[in-house]
A = this chain, B = another copy of it.
Amino acid sequence: MSPPEAPLVDRLPTPCWLVAFTNRRTEAHDEEYDRVAARMVALAREQPGFLGVEAVRDAQGVGITLSYWRDRASISAWKAHLEHGEAQRAGNDRFYARWRLRVCEVVDERGFDAD
């Protein structure tokens, strides 16, 4: 699932925070997964401190989602969000065979645009 915005977040205020969610999907529940994933992106956008998201999934079902946040408190609040909690439980129950989540502070950024 790609977010509706351009797939790369253009420029961040640093320091900011990043949550790196790397995962492998189960081979089931595609329709429910797509619906819940899209809903979570839409909901995340409404949260205080949300700065952007980049998400990629390959043909083998391995995905990386990077979400960017103003501070660590915003990440904690999003983790504790009620509807997000339901999605997390569905994730462990049905959507993901494995996942790893890393909470990080972004300290430097560089970029390049060919055009």
Question: How many angstroms between the C-alpha atoms of A104 and B20 in the bound complex?
Answer: 10
Majority secondary structure of chain A interface residues (helix, strand, loop or mixed): strand
* A30 smallest CB distance to B (angstroms): 15
Could you tell me if A105 and B102 are in contact, using CB atoms closer than 8 angstroms? no
Say how many copies of this protein the assembly contains. 2
- Interface size grouping (class) on chain A: 35 or more
A102-B109 contact given A20-B18, A60-B2, CB 8 Å threshold: yes
A54 within 8 A of B: yes
Question: Which residues of chain A have a CB within 8 Å of any CB of chain B?
Answer: 2, 7-10, 12, 18, 20, 22-24, 26, 54, 56-60, 62-64, 66, 72, 91-92, 96-115
